Amino acid sequence: MSNNLPALAGPAAPTAQFVCHPAPDGPTVNAFLFDPDGRDVLLTDEINAISADARADLLDRFAEAALAEGHPFDRDAAERDLITQGGEAARRAASQPAARMADPAALLSRVGLTVVGERADGAAVTHSESTGRTRTTPRVAKLEFEDALQLVGSDHAGRLVRKRTNDTPPGAISLPELKGALALAASAAPEIDSGGRGRGVWPGEGGDLLINDGRTVYTYDGLQTADFADHAVGGHAVLRGGAEWAGSDVRAAVDGMTPDRAAAAYSRLLEITGQWRWERPADAAVAAAAVVATPVQAVLRHRPRMAVLGPTNSGKSTLVTEALTPLLSGPHRFAEIFDDATAAGVRQSVGCDAPPVVLDEFENSSRREGILAMFRVASRGGRMVRGTPGQVAHETELRLMPWVLAIEPGDLPAQDRNRQIELELAAPPADSPDPELPSVEELHELRVELVAAAVWAVRAAEDLALAIRRLAPADADRRLVESLAVPAAFDAVLRHGRDVAPDVAGKVLRSFLEGRTVDDTASTEQDLLDAIFSAPITVPGMNKKVVSVGELVAEQFTGHTTWLGMGAEQLGLNGLRVFHHPRAASGDRPACDRGLFVTPLVATTLLEGTSWQGVDVKTILKRLPGACEDNQAVNGRPTRGVFLPLGALGLCGTLPAADPAATSDKDTLAITG
């Protein structure tokens, strides 16, 4: 029996072939024969002799094939012709260039489905009217009946049948018809990123904010909220579903937020954090402002990592469990709190949501290096690129402002120490009273006000954070300034309103920087590498799509061809070459793992117009672990440069094997930019 069933008609039909169908109560029946021009169909006399169920199954398979090939198909008319008039009538109907078929969207509407878009890997993203959820179907052709029931939901399950029979009710849709309609509708839908906008606060269109509260989604334009009925925003699917995390109280508070109301909520939070003994008194305000910023972390350009440090008896556990956790997670427990975790575990738990993330006992974690690398990606909204057996990269966007708890910071590289804001607690005197905390109910009420204040303040705070960096002392660590500018801006906006002057926020930033020193050794080379990975490249042939160097590097390591296979060429034109196979020893050069070869050309191409333009790239990057000068061909021309082994690139996770065919679902690559 042939599994490649042609469509009933159409100028694009395949060449002549027999298609056979086994009758359950007799020998195999020759069912259809297409001639070479794909227009005439002949049916054998035996077609009318098979059972109704067998005939229905045959039509199911032809409907699926017709939809998959893009041919229109009217099942009811075809079945009527087969039963009442036999092969000759079917032959005449099928010889028409465009036979009849219901619109795929109309078919899907029978079971309450709307196709939101299609991912680059061919997965269909759908929204169900019955469940209110947005789901992704990776391979429509493999959809089973039980999967389809889960997709459409209970309200429309009665309209879905495995296959058509004489008893199939009007308006029903069979599984093959559903799969074909999904495939066709997805192919015509806009392409969307593989990430998605799950629960949380996200950038919307035209400067608006998008608040996804599970099944309720709305926008905020700085003045009022409005229901959001679409299923995609900015090329991302809006993933409805899951428990609410904010509730209607937060939306009402957003609509009613004023400068005085925001200042009152923030003042109450400062009273709570001010009850602990901080090594730097300003850290009470840093902690409070960071608590407010965390719910809107996905909107921020830069997301610092918050580290609460303190010895035993400093009150760290009380602060976290009885104050920070209720304020960050709320009664709906919208937070990911880990005592022990891997980078993959954190990433998979977060998924496409933007919840607060808290990791306890972080200094004792044996998996800290991988988690830190993931957090470096998350600080600027980078993407985790994961290989799949189908040889198509799957990307997850990370926008996290994580909280880590530890007794001491541990032995961190400079690039990680500078990315984290350390809030140090001191042990209080023995006769000090315990902090007086509000009840859980009062904390939840305060959280409603603080989340609403964050939504109200974030756009002004985001612009302010960028403006006040230049107001920091000239000798302050650049990364630390970038990180502390976020809570400083929120503090200023919450105290003084959205029109607060930058000079006022600049004073707050300087007070937050007092008493903080960071060893900046070896940070320069990491900053340069970050700047290279973040640099944009315009890919020709894709409507001049702009991608980051990091994305093109990811393509080379995973063996995918997302950018029309132009990654190696575009990297070469800008002075870079990826070695995605281990390199044998040659002459004085030792054997090397995979890595990146960087030439001085990047200083005048990728880094043009930045503070790195014209720098001595080789001298700076040679400071990275394992880096060595080398002579390699780039775009066919031998040139001197520096080879950076994989371990020096700050890439997170387990990279694919050198053979792209060996890539598994566990292969992960993190790229900033």
Give the domain-ending residue among 74, 94, 114.
94
Residue 50 in any domain: the answer is: yes
In what helix (H) or strand (E) does residue 510 lie, and over which residues does it extend?
A: helix 502-513
Beta bridge partners of 397: 383
Same domain, residue pair 284 and 405: yes
381-401 burial code (b ≥16 CB/10 A, e <16): bbbbbbbbeeebbbbbbbbbb
Give Cβ neighbours of residue 175 (< 8 Å, ≥ 6 apart). Answer: 60, 143, 145, 148, 160, 161, 162, 163
Same domain, residue pair 528 and 653: yes
Of 389, 396, 386, the closest CA to residue 557 belongs to 386
Same domain, residue pair 566 and 655: yes
> Are the beta carbons of 358 and 325 closer than 8 angstroms?
yes
Same domain, residue pair 300 and 441: yes
Give the domain-ending residue among 513, 535, 552.
513
608-644 burial code (b ≥16 CB/10 A, e <16): eeeebeebebbebbeebeebeebebebeeeebebbbb
Residue 226 in any domain: the answer is: no
CA distance 212 to 206: 17
Residue whose entry in the numeric block shows the structure tokens 């072939």? 17
Residue 131 token pair: 């469940």
Please classify residue 197 by burial: count the beta carbons closer than 10 Å to its beta carbon, then call 0-12 exposed, 13-18 middle and 19+ buried: buried
* Residue 222: strand, helix, or coil: coil
pLDDT of residue 252: 97
pLDDT of residue 558: 58
Same domain, residue pair 344 and 273: yes
Same domain, residue pair 77 and 115: no
Q: How many Cβ atoms sit within 10 Å of the Cβ of residue 154? A: 10
pLDDT of residue 228: 95
Same domain, residue pair 371 and 505: yes
CATH number of the domain that 482 lies in?
A: 3.40.50.300
pLDDT of residue 270: 97
Instruction: Give pLDDT < 50 ranges for the chain.
Output: 1-50, 84-101, 387-393, 519-522, 563-564, 652-673
pLDDT of residue 443: 94
Cα-based angle 17, 19, 23 (whole degrees, multiple of 5): 160
Residue 399 in any domain: the answer is: yes
Say if strands 225-227 and 232-233 run parallel, antiparallel, or are unpaired. unpaired
* Residue 252: strand, helix, or coil: helix
Residue 438 token pair: 């509000």
> Are the beta carbons of 510 and 472 closer than 8 angstroms?
yes
Same domain, residue pair 324 and 468: yes
> Are the beta carbons of 447 and 288 closer than 8 angstroms?
no
> Are the beta carbons of 213 and 225 closer than 8 angstroms?
no
Cα-based angle 49, 53, 58 (whole degrees, multiple of 5): 80
Same domain, residue pair 461 and 530: no
pLDDT of residue 583: 59
Residue 627 in any domain: the answer is: yes
Same domain, residue pair 340 and 474: yes
Same domain, residue pair 153 and 296: no
Residue 216 in any domain: the answer is: no
* Domain span including residue 361: 255-513
* Residue 69: strand, helix, or coil: coil
Give Cβ neighbours of residue 102 (< 8 Å, ≥ 6 apart). Answer: 74
Residue 10 in any domain: the answer is: no
Residue 114 in any domain: the answer is: yes
pLDDT of residue 150: 92
Give the domain-ending residue among 513, 541, 576.
513
* Residue 337: strand, helix, or coil: strand
Residue 203 in any domain: the answer is: no
Q: What is the pTM of this model?
A: 0.65
- The CA distances from residue 564 to 355, 443, 570, in Å, are 35, 52, 11
> Are the beta carbons of 468 and 482 closer than 8 angstroms?
no
Same domain, residue pair 358 and 304: yes
Residue whose entry in the numeric block shows the structure tokens 């794909």? 38
Of 419, 421, 505, the closest CA to residue 460 belongs to 505
pLDDT of residue 549: 82
User: Domain tally for the chain?
Assistant: 4
Residue whose entry in the numeric block shows the structure tokens 């998996």? 367
pLDDT of residue 29: 32
Residue 107 token pair: 């078919």
Question: In this predicted model, what pLDDT tens digit does every residue of 341-367 receive, in sequence order?
Answer: 788 888 888 888 999 998 887 766 667
Residue 38 token pair: 């794909």
Total residues found in the chain within this entry: 673
Residue 58 token pair: 């045959």
* Residue 310: strand, helix, or coil: coil
